[in-house]
Amino acid sequence: MSSTLLAKTLFEPLETVGSTLETLSSVDSYMDVNVFDLASEATSALAELGSTLHEAAPFPTIRWTSSSGNDPVDSLLQSRYRTEDYGNESDATTSDRVKVRDGVEVIPLGLDGATRENWAPTFRVLREFVEELLLRAETVVRRVRTLGDRDARIACRSVRRMLASIRDVLAWSVAGARFVDRRADNGADAPIAFASWASDTLTGGNDA
């Protein structure tokens, strides 16, 4: 990418998905909502995330470790993006891995220097977020099984499949090298092709 990627760029599409899944899983009746349009909004957001990950590759070598409450970046991410209450925050403004832009703390994902270390906590919290969303997506898929709109049912299953694909990409620290080799798709369908490839490659072609 031409400029340094910020962690929030990876989380914002998932927040859109979370809002959509919250609506689809909590509404009393699907008579008053357009399930297909909502699910399509979620798949578009996931395609955007997939495209960003594809463009950002190759990633630095990521050493997977357990979450540490002493890491200011991990604490900042947990407090912003996890749904459960996270009460072990540290002062991120004192870290050279966190920048302040327009009065807001941002987390750059650099390829060298101190911000290179931001990839591990970002991918860890991102994966936890995706796993939470995947549970909600599975609930939605079960709820829409009796829905008469076949396209809506397929769209909801697509949300679940794309979440599973991205979860597995984040779980495989070696995936970065594979992203570089997967350059066949350069058109408008590239993000969807990314999700399909990730699912086929990392989950064995199963509709996870």
191 is a domain residue: yes
19 is a domain residue: yes
208 is a domain residue: no
Alpha-carbon distance of 25 to 142, in angstroms, equals 10
207 is a domain residue: no
137 is a domain residue: yes
Backbone torsion region of residue 95, taken as left when φ is above 0, otherwise alpha when ψ lies between -120 and 50, otherwise beta:
beta
- Structural domain that includes position 66: 5-202
pLDDT in tens, 25-35: 998 888 889 99
143 is a domain residue: yes
**172 in helix, strand or coil?**
coil
**101 in helix, strand or coil?**
strand
**109 in helix, strand or coil?**
strand
89 is a domain residue: yes
Q: How many domains does the chain have?
A: 1
pLDDT in tens, 160-190: 999 998 888 877 744 443 444 443 344 445 4
Question: For residue 90, with 0-12 CB atoms within 10 Å meaning exposed, 13-18 middle and 19 or more buried, which class applies?
Answer: middle
28 is a domain residue: yes
Do the Cβ atoms of 100 and 106 come closer than 8 Å? yes
Indicate the helix (H) or strand (E) that contains 168. helix 150-171
Residue 90 has pLDDT above 60, yes or no: no
